[in-house]
Amino acid sequence: MENIKIRQVSSLEKVFPSKREMPEEYCRASALRGEEFAYQIVLRKEGWGKEEVRFSVSSPLGDAVQVFQVKTVPCELAAYPEEDAHDEDYLTLDSGLFPDVLSPLPENTLEVNSALNTTVWVNLIVPEDCPAGEYPIRFTAEGEESRADCTFTLTVIPAKLPEQKLLFTQWFHVDCLAEQYHVPVYSERHWEIIGAYLREAAKEGMNMVLTPVLTPPLDTAIGTERLCVQLLEIEKQGDSYRFDLTRLRRFVELALECGITHFEINHLFTQWGAKCTPAVYATVEGKKKRIFGWDVAADSPEYMAFLRQMLSAVNEFFRSMGLGDRLFFHVSDEPGKGALEHYSQAKAMIRELVGGCPVIDALSDPEFYDRGLVQQPVAATNHIEPFLERQVPELWAYYCCVQGVKVGNRFLAMPSYRNRILGVQLYKYRIKGFLHWGYNFWHSQESKSRIDPFRVTDGGGAFPGGDPFSVYPGEDGTPLSSLRLKIFHHALQDLRALELLESLTDRETVENTVKEFETVTFSEYPRNSRYLLETREAVNRKIGEKTALLSS
């Protein structure tokens, strides 16, 4: 019987199908109770041809262990071509096929090939009541001609991973869900799909959701509209407005049920400068019509009157739900220096209308903070140093398509350690929240057309592949996760583990445990996977030692 070459590697490796040289063997690790853990298995058939094999997984951890196949997606734009838009720390700068989709394997079958690697993602969530100790995970694959097996050993540390303190939002695009699955907006089927995607997001660390009270004015070409998904049903009667909050209540209750704890109201003015108003629809004299949009200036007295009434209703609703302290607002996304005046005027319009709730916006220029326009800035990671120097007390961070030089990111063409390093960075600088614009942005740039996420991963050549979304649309209305989303979640768990160690000891102990802690910044950090793997093992050992002392 011919054999199958088999190798266990860490979750931080991106194994390309045709790659012959295998990453370092990875057969042992540790995890905390309640933590999601993953590693990969790479298989290649010896001899010639391909063959279907059945596999099995056996472990005392039982059903906590799940198996997925890592499938590739095409990417035409791996990185922006300009020399100052990328660095050398990419897997490649060329177009190609990249491992990313985690595809379920319900039939426990795989196809192994003598010419290509088959990669399996082994994923598990350690039960919160799991006894401490070593747990083997045995994987066996067998066909008519071939056979292979391997064993991974996971040591469970007798300490529970604490709840996530960091607020994390990936913008949730409900219009893309309706379009992708060809369902009417807020039909029963749409609500089912929204729930499935919210549950997946919460499972991977997202605890805040973009709430489309109005259709979010994001990534929309000037003069055009995205599909109307405003939760508020509005009736205009002269200068007065009546608001039906039924759909808003359903959205909020569904999000809470799925594990979301905080809510960010959509931006109240257009992107990149707050010059115009979002598209708003209302029933006027029995007919539904657009009453605001690109043709209405941001400082319109009519819009101000509308906002006064709308925000009063929205604030009262969230207070009645007991969520008044979990509410955030946006003015305009990514305003530049040239937009200071417009942004200032827009902020002044809503200052007294947001009920004392925080206003957060993604930006790069510290002048917005210096002038008191944004008390909780969301700073781009490649422009965050001035905000750190100012010791902003409630500082958030974000990255998107243009953060491709030195700083970490989650592009398809980047090594995974540039994704996971974020956990150490967030801890070091005591960052309060993290924002990313693309949970499921399945459009081209400026939403000029829809895309097939399995074929187009770069917004139609607009963004480095992987930037616009981190989940793929499963056929049954449920999301397929990505390697990038899992690794990002692992970064969030690193942050929580560091916080746990600090709570058991002190910050100095954490700083002494994390190698090279003093030299790590958002742009400078060890450029290898081993650093992160060894760091977590060192942190876990310290947690285990301290836990043992406290229980003795």
DSSP E strands, 431-527: 433-436, 472-473, 479-480
Which pLDDT does position 176 carry in this prediction? 98
Q: Is residue 190 part of a domain?
A: no
Q: Is residue 45 part of a domain?
A: yes
Q: Is residue 67 part of a domain?
A: yes
Contacts of 278 (CB under 8 A, 6+ apart): 214, 215, 216, 217, 266, 267, 268, 269, 270, 292, 293
Closest CA relative to residue 547, chosen from 497, 495, 512? 497
Residues 113 and 431: their CA atoms lie apart, in Å, by 45
Total number of domains constituting the chain: 1
CB contact at 8 A, 502 and 494: no
Cβ neighbours around 108 below 10 Å, total:
12
156: domain CATH number is 2.60.40.10
CB contact at 8 A, 311 and 353: yes
3-class secondary structure, 35: coil
227 burial type by CB count under 10 A (0-12 exposed, 13-18 middle, 19+ buried): middle
Residues 387 and 365: their CA atoms lie apart, in Å, by 9
Which pLDDT does position 552 carry in this prediction? 55
Residues 493 and 157: their CA atoms lie apart, in Å, by 14
| Percent of the chain that is helix, strand, coil (3-state, to 5) | 30, 30, 45
CB contact at 8 A, 376 and 397: no
Residues 453 and 441: their CA atoms lie apart, in Å, by 9
Residues 373 and 358: their CA atoms lie apart, in Å, by 11
Residues 269 and 361: their CA atoms lie apart, in Å, by 12
CB contact at 8 A, 15 and 23: yes
CB contact at 8 A, 103 and 69: yes
List the structure tokens of 423: 């956990």
Closest CA relative to residue 381, chosen from 410, 408, 414? 408
For residue 284, list its beta bridge partners: 236, 287
| Buried b or exposed e, range 84-98, using 16+ CB within 10 angstroms | eebbeebbeeeebeb
Q: Is residue 108 part of a domain?
A: yes
Which pLDDT does position 1 carry in this prediction? 42
Q: Is residue 55 part of a domain?
A: yes
List the structure tokens of 139: 């994987």
For residue 9, list its beta bridge partners: 40
User: Residue 105 sits in which domain range?
Assistant: 2-160
CB contact at 8 A, 181 and 189: yes
CB contact at 8 A, 262 and 210: no
Residues 412 and 99: their CA atoms lie apart, in Å, by 8
Residues 183 and 477: their CA atoms lie apart, in Å, by 10
For residue 4, list its beta bridge partners: 45
316 burial type by CB count under 10 A (0-12 exposed, 13-18 middle, 19+ buried): middle
Closest CA relative to residue 447, chosen from 179, 231, 213? 179
Q: Is residue 479 part of a domain?
A: no
Q: Is residue 60 part of a domain?
A: yes
Q: Is residue 263 part of a domain?
A: no
pLDDT tens, residue order, the chain (552 aa): 458 999 999 999 999 999 988 899 999 999 999 999 999 999 999 888 999 999 999 999 999 999 999 999 999 999 999 999 999 999 999 999 999 999 999 899 999 999 999 999 999 999 999 999 999 999 999 998 888 999 999 999 999 999 999 999 999 999 999 999 999 999 999 999 999 999 999 999 999 999 999 999 999 999 999 999 999 999 999 999 999 999 999 999 999 999 999 999 999 999 998 999 999 999 999 999 999 999 999 999 999 999 999 999 999 999 999 999 999 999 999 998 889 999 999 999 999 999 999 999 999 999 999 999 998 999 999 999 999 999 999 999 999 999 999 999 999 999 999 999 999 999 999 999 999 999 999 999 999 999 999 999 999 999 999 999 999 999 999 999 999 999 999 999 999 999 999 999 999 999 999 999 999 999 999 999 999 999 999 999 999 999 987 765
Residues 467 and 372: their CA atoms lie apart, in Å, by 31
Question: What is the residue whose two structure tokens read 């009262």?
Answer: 316
Sign of the Cα pseudo-torsion (297, 362, 195, 245, in order): negative
